[in-house]
Structures are given as structure tokens and as C-alpha cells.
Structure 1
């Protein structure tokens, strides 16, 4: 066995053993113990964690690559540094005839001082129990899980061996020295003290506040670059990030929202008519549903409202076709229809008309609904409306 350890063997520890295993990696778990884990690092700096990486070497065997780790014993036993200076091959038993099983590969310290039958640092395969819903056996004392390996029913070297592409589950976790920033791999564990830092797989720096990991602002007042597909929460209300698609977003305390929402727009390309001389929000013909939009009032409490339609009067006599809007904040009327605010047409021909108006004294953060309304001044005239639209541009 190539695995080296310090202060396990009763005799025979060499100076080389000591040099290889004294690594100073004591990432605190509590005032006395440290975390068990693997020291990060890789050749050419390409990966966070390459130590004790496991890949297949044959149908029923796998190779565990070189690496360094610390294995914490019980609170009075201390921590054991271990080093594997050259790769090691582990072999798995053939599969059961009836059920799958899950084997556990571990780094393990055997110490006679605490009840083991020998003093040794080893890489072991803890064979699982074949059953309908298999699970790995618990890790033994003074051990560090590396991988779970699912061994299917009846598998052996003669039947093609373990399907390595799907059989492995990586359990490795990393550690660093006290005060170091931990590159997280595997399970996210609680911190040991307020002010401890870790770097997550999606490149976010986090700080332990005594009860949870909190995202650390990449620059106070700065714009945080977002990660594709990220659901990382903000650190404080009012923090900004460069959202997906290049949209600037603001953390509102519970979610990332557009920093500058709008413009809000809705339209209808269907025509319809009314002969009503009072305001209605539905039309006969192809426009049986109301046209409306909702918007959120900005902090400035102001917005620009634009609406319009192509209007035509059909029938006998003279008259006017009107399009207006009613604006509600929930069940509260903000502004009702008014001929003075409407767009109008007094022509038998199609005429496109629109208007732009300022909305002010809105309630910041409140949701408003704008609904299109129509009427004619003469019941003998059909007032037709087509290509109708509503637009609200918040003034930020």
C-alpha cells in the first residue's frame, strides 16, 4: 500500500513519511477538531480538486489518483494527515445474483490505540448489502468517504464489468488551512466561526455569519456579474447585478427584479365597433375581450402613458368616435374616462390617432391597471376601432 501517514505506526515511521504528510491543513470544525477532507489543487491549476480522483482501470477495478488529506478522529484522538504519492488500484467483488449493491470507497486510519487490529493507513472498499433499494454502509470511524460505486446484479469481468460512466458518485470534500478560503466541493457544511469564508462551485464568495452562509458582495455598491442559470440571492436590499441577457437587476430583499421595469405594452390587431354613447371596454365584431395592461409605479411616481387606435365611423349622420382609458390601483380609481383625455375621430375614413400623457402622483411600488374604453356620440353611427394599443413608460 502506497498510502503514507504520520504517527500511526508504532515503529518504522520514516523521515520521508513525516515530510510527505505534514501539510498544515487544519480547517476548523470546532475548538478542538478539524474537518476531514482533501487538500485542493490540480496539475496546471485546471481543477479545484484532483486528489484521490477515481477512474476505472479494468472491468472490476478502479485507480485512485495521488493526493493529500486529513482524517479527523474522535474529539480526543486528533487529526491524521495522509498522503498517496502514487496512484493505487482498488478491486470490487462481482455483483450479487439478485440485487444491486452500493460499495463505499474510503480513506481509512486503523489505529490499535483506539480498538483496531493494526496500525495502518489504507484505501478500503466497504462492500454494501445487496437489496432492492441498496445504500452504502456507514463510513467507519477515522475514515473519509471518497466514492460510492453501484455494482449491478450479476456484473463481473466476464459480463463486461461495472458501468463506470454511471456507477460512480463523487463524495470527496476539500479542506484548507485555518483562515483559508475553502473551495467547496461536494456537500456544503456549516461554518465553524463567524467570519469564515468559502468559494462556491458557481464562483460566489460566501461568509459564515454564525448561522448560515451569506453571499459576500463582490463590491459594495458595485454591479455583481451574474452566473448563467444562477439563483444566488443578493447580500443586501438595493444591490445590483448584471442579469441574464444583459438586463440590470436589483435585489429587493427577496428576489432579483428588473432595476428599471418597462416599458409596458399591449395591443390588439382585431377590429370591432360600438354604437354605445356611454363608455364600454368591449366591442362587437372581432373584439369581444377588453384590452388592458398592468404596470408597477416607479420610485419617481411618474410615468408616460400613450394610447391610440385606427378609428372609422360607419353609418348615417355626423358624430365622433372616442377611445379613452380607465386607470385603477387595485379597486381604487386613479383616473376615469374623460372626453378631454380621449383620442377622437370625426371621419367616415380610417384615421389613426394617438395621444401621450403624463401620469403623476402615483404610489411608488403599487400596481396599476390601464383598460381601453370606447364610445360613439351618435347611436346611428358604428364607431370602429382597429390596431388599438396601450403603452406605459415608467420615468426612472
Structure 2
């Protein structure tokens, strides 16, 4: 067995053993114990973790690559550094005739002070129980799990063996020295002290605040980068992130929303007319009303522009008006009226519009703007076309 360990064997530990296993990686788990795990790194620097990587060597055998690790014993037993300086081949038993099983590959420390009769470090295959819904065996004391391997029913060297591409489940976890940034592989574990850092698989730097991992940009009030998963929730109301398409977004306390919402626009090119002298929001020959909703900004102000192409058809004189009503829910913020509206007094097509300021809005509230129309002469048809509404919040 090539696996080397320090301070396990009663006799025979060489200077080479000691040099190989002094790894200096003790990432605290609590005041006394350290986290078990594998030292990160790869030969070309492209991968977080290549130590103790496992791939197929033959139908029923796998090669475990070289690597270094720390295995924590019980609270009074200390930590065991181990090193595999050259790759090791492990062989799996043939599959059960009827059921699949799940085996567990571990780094295991045997210390006869606490268990058994030997002092050694080994790479060991723990066979699972063949059953209809197989599970991996539990991880024993002073062990670090590397892989789960599903061994199909009937698998053997003579009939194709283990389907390595789908049979392996990587269980390896990393460890770093005190104060080091931990490159996370496998399940995310709680931190050991406030101020500890880790780098997640989606490239998010996180800090342990004493109860949870907090993304580093969140902790300092910075903008959460676009590389962070879109499903990640904010940490506090008012936090910003670089959203999809470069849009700056703000955490409302329950969802990410545009930091600077708007502008808002709605229009229609359908012709419609009215002969009503009272304000109406629907026109003959046009389906439905024209409206838009907007969210009031913190400034409580917005610029409103609306307009239409208006034509009067019929006999006699009169005027065609377009105005808008602004509502917050069922409350009228500003009613329609001639004084607010655009006006046309011509049998020819005239394009008219106006720009006005909405003020004393309630910040964060949703408002609805609806177009209304009327004429001053029931003998005249007031036609409206190319009608539009435009609201620009003032941030």
C-alpha cells in the first residue's frame, strides 16, 4: 500500500513519511477539531481538485490518483495527515446476481489505540448491501469518503463490468489552512468562525457571518456580480446586483426588481371615435381601453406624456378632447379634465400631445394611467388614432 501517514505506526515511520505528510492544512471545525478533506490543486492549475480522483482501470478496477488529505478523528484523537504519492488500483467484488449495490471508497485510518489491531492508513472499499433500492454503507470513524460506486447486478470482468461513466458519485471535499479561502467541492458545510471565506463552485466568494454564508459583495454593500446564480436571494433590502442584460436590480426584501424601473409606454394605431360629451375610456370601432401601470419612484415624481391624432367628422362646430385619469388602486390621484387634455377643433387630421409632471406620488406604489375621450357636439364624431401614453419616473 502506497498511502503514507504520520504518527500512526508505533515503529517504522521514516523521515520521508514525515516530510510527505506535513501538509499544514488544518481548517478549523471547532476549537479542537479540524475539517477532514483533500488539499485542492491540480498539475496544470485548471481544476480545483484532482487529489484522489478515481477513474476506471479495467472492468472491475479503478485507479485512485495521488493526493494529500487530512482525516479528523474523534475530539480527543487528533487529525491524521495522509499522502498518496503514487496512484493506487482498487478492485471491486462482482455484482450480486439479483440486485444492484452501492459501494463506498474511503481513506481509512486504523489506529489500534482506538480500534482494531493495526496502525495504518489504507484506501478501502466498503461493500454495500445488494437490494432493490441500494444505499451506500455509513462512513466509519477516522475515514474520509471519496466516491460512491454503483455496482450493477451481475457485474463482473467477463460481462462488461462496472459502467464507469455513470457509476461514480464524487464525494470528495476540500480543506485549506487556517485563514485560507476554501475552494468548495461537494456539499457546503457550516463555517467554523466569523470571517472565514470560501469560494463556491459558481465563483461566488462568501464570508461566514457566524450563522450563514454571505456573498462577499453583499457583505460590503457592493453590487452582486452577474456570475452569481439568478436564483440567489438578496441578503438585505436595498442590495443591488448586476442582472440579466446588464440591468441594475435591487432586492426588495422578497424579490429582485429593476433598480430604476421604467420608462413605461403603451399605444395603439387602431382608429376609434366617440360622439359622447361625457368622458369615456372606450371608442366605437376600437377594442378596449388604453392604459398602462407604473411604479412610483423614491422621488415621488414622474413625467407623463400622452397624445393622439384627432379628427372631427360631421356637421357643425365642436371640439375633440383626450385626457387621462391616474389611479392608485381605487383612489383617484388625478382625474381627467379639459384643462389637462389635448384638444382638436379641425375637420382635418391633427396630431397633438402634451407633457406634464405627476407629483406627490407614493413611492413604491403602483399607479394606472388610462386614456379618456370626449366631444363637445354629439353631431360630431371625434376620431382618435395613433394614441399613446408614456410615463418616465424621475429617479
* Both structures adopt the same fold (TM-score exceeding 0.5): yes
8 Å CA contact retained: 2:297, 2:394: yes
1:25 Cα offset (Å):
1.2
- For 1:15-34, list aligned pairs within 5 A: 15-34=15-34
Structure 1: runs of 5+ lacking an equivalent: none
Alignment partner, residue 225 of structure 2: 225
Report deviation, 1:84.
Answer: 0.7
Aligned CA distance change for structure 1 residues 305 and 272 (closer, same or farther; 3 Å): same
Q: Kindly provide the CA deviation profile for residues 91-147 of structure 1, in whole angstroms up to 9, marking residues without a partner as x.
A: 223333333222211111122221224222111122222222222111111111111
Farther-moved stretch of structure 1 (241-250 vs 12-21): 241-250
Task: Flag as ranges the 4+ runs of structure 1 deviating above 6 A.
Answer: none
For residue 253 of structure 1, report the CA deviation from its aligned partner: 4.1
Which deviates the most, 222-231 or 119-128?
222-231
CA–CA separation in structure 2 for the residues paired with 1:179 and 1:17: 26
Listed as ranges, the matches of 1:111-150 within 5 Å are: 111-150=111-150
Structure 2 CA distance for partners of 1:273 and 1:29, relative to 1, 3 Å? same
Counterparts of residues 1-396 of structure 1 (less than 5 Å): 1-217=1-217, 220=220, 222-227=222-227, 229-287=229-287, 289-396=288-395
- TM-score, structure 2 length as denominator? 0.93
TM-align CA RMSD: 2.1
Q: CA deviation at 1:228?
A: 5.8
Question: Is contact 1:215–1:234 with CA below 8 Å preserved after alignment?
Answer: no
Describe the shift of the 1:268–1:149 C-alpha distance in structure 2 as closer, same or farther (beyond 3 A). Answer: farther
Q: Which runs of 5+ in 2 are unaligned?
A: none
1:160–1:387 distance in 2 versus 1, CA, 3 Å? farther
TM-aligned CA distance change 1:68 to 1:293, over 3 Å: same
Give CA-to-partner distance per residue, 1:294-330, whole Å, 9 cap, x none.
Answer: 1111122111111122333333333222221111112
TM-superposed deviation, 1:218: 7.3
Q: Distance in 1 between matches of 2:92 and 2:378?
A: 90
**8 A contact 1:183–1:198 mirrored in 2:** yes
Displacement of 1:254 in angstroms is 4.1
Cα distance in 1, alignment partners of residues 277 and 332 from structure 2 = 21
Deviation at residue 236 of structure 1 after TM alignment: 4.6
Once the two structures are TM-superposed, the CA of residue 235 in structure 1 deviates from its matched residue by 4.9
**CA distance in structure 1 between the partners assigned to 2:228 and 2:28 by the alignment:** 32
In structure 1, distance between residues paired with 2:270 and 2:28: 68
Contact 2:202 2:228 in 1 (8 A): no
Change (3 A) 1:98 1:292: farther
What is the CA–CA distance in structure 1 between the aligned matches of 2:31 and 2:159, rounded to whole Å?
Answer: 51
Contact 2:296–2:365 (Cα < 8 Å) also in 1: yes
C-alpha distance 382-158 of structure 1, shift in aligned 2 (>3 A)? farther
CA distance in 1, matches of 2:107, 2:365: 59
Evaluate the alpha carbon distance shift between residue 77 and residue 392 of structure 1 in structure 2; reply closer, same or farther with a 3 A threshold: same
1:335 shift after superposition:
0.3
1:251-300 Cα deviation digits (max 9, x unpaired): 3444433221110112223333323221222223231x222211111122
TM-score by length of 1: 0.93
Kept in 2, the 8 Å contact 1:6–1:17? The answer is: yes
CA distance in 1, matches of 2:387, 2:177: 67
**Whole-angstrom CA distance in 1 between matches of 2:323 and 2:209:** 55
Assess if the C-alpha contact under 8 Å between 1:215 and 1:233 holds in 2: no
Question: Hey, what's the Cα distance between the residues in 2 that align with 1:36 and 1:95?
Answer: 31
Aligned mates of 2:101, 2:307 — CA distance in 1: 70
Alpha carbons of 1:269 and 1:160: their partners in 2 closer, same or farther (altered >3 Å)? farther
SS at match of 2:2: coil
State the number of aligned residues: 395
Judge which range, 252-261 or 138-147, deviates more. 252-261
In structure 1, C-alpha distance between the alignment counterparts of 2:275 and 2:116, rounded to whole Å: 96
